[in-house]
Amino acid sequence: MKLFSNASVIVFLFLTCTASAQLPQTGFLDRSIELDGSSHRYRLYVPEDYDNSQDWPVILFLHGAGERGNDGLKQSTVGLGNAIRQNPERWPAITIFPQVPAGESWQGIAADVAMAALDATIEKYSVDESRQYLTGLSLGGNGTWYLGYKHTERFAAMVAVCGFVGLGDRFPAFISGSVNPYADLAQDLQDKPIWIVHGDADVIVPVEESRNMFQQLKALGAEVHYSELPGVNHNSWDAAYGNQELNSWLFQQRLN
């Protein structure tokens, strides 16, 4: 006995393929964005259980100096990207991984690209705009302070890992003309929930950079947490992004 007509089979296959085509891609995705006539590659992480029926938090992650380039890949292999791969259930958020060109920093076109990628993500995906988070490590920690300063109203919380405000002539502070850039930055960010992480044995970025920011923020009564890791050199990011207390705290933060 013939159970289905040819027409029924065709309709069934059409509906199945249409439904599959409408399912959003998940995992680590390659993306690019056009800015000022140039194309810039970045990576986007979409949780496996993502759907449009709810609004999702979004994280902007800024990598360190070692991940600079234009391959569009390295920046998602260190720090937060690695933490997501190890424990995806702890990171139920859409996450953006822009990349700084070789020899440059976040205080340039890369900052504009990062914000443009964030805007593009919010436009395409179902995002809770009150839960935009900013984090970065090392050079990206500096970028976190920089973008937090430039876009203070935008982010619900910040996590700066082994970051710095200024490293003298090698890397001047971005608040030009300031007698005390740490105090000026703290004044700007005092209403922003912040968590700072740094190893006390860091030989690349002195721990005093994070100590100074913590002290300035604390003096203003800011909601600031500081984790100083005894005996830890520059890699404080594995401990930072593996800290479930920090993780839980981050997702509780919302813009007022």
Q: DSSP string of 32-97?
A: EEEETTEEEEEEEEE-TT--TTS-EEEEEEE--GGG-SSSSSGGGSSTHHHHHHH-GGG--SEEEE
CA distance 158 to 19: 38
Residue 1 covered by a domain: no
Structure tokens at 235: 């890699």
* 5 inside domain: no
Mean pLDDT of 176-192: 95
Structure confidence at residue 18 as a pLDDT band (50, 70, 90): very low
Residue 141: predicted pLDDT: 98
Q: Is residue 13 assigned to a domain?
A: no
Q: Give the mean model confidence (pLDDT) for residues 33-42.
A: 93
Domain count, the chain: 1
Q: Does 7 reside within a domain? A: no
Q: Tokens 């194309």 correspond to what residue? A: 39
Let me know how long the chain is: 256
Residues with Cβ within 8 Å of residue 83, at least 6 apart in sequence: 90, 91, 238, 241, 242
Range of the domain at 63: 25-252
pTM more than 0.85: yes
Phi/psi for 240 (5° steps) reads -65, -55
Contact 229, 187 (CB under 8 A): no
Whether residue 12 lies inside any domain: the answer is no
Q: Is the pLDDT of residue 189 over 70?
A: yes
In a domain, 243, yes or no: yes
pLDDT tens for 52-77 read 999 999 999 999 999 999 999 999 99
Q: Report the CATH number at residue 198.
A: 3.40.50.1820
* 6 is a domain residue: no
45 domain-assigned: yes
pLDDT at position 177? 87
CA–CA separation, 239 and 232 (whole Å)? 10
CA 188 to chain centre: 20
- Number of helices (H) and strands (E), helices first, in the chain? 8, 8
Listed residue (241, 133, 118) closest to 193, CA to CA: 133
- In this structure, the number of other CB atoms found within 10 A of the CB of residue 11 comes to 12
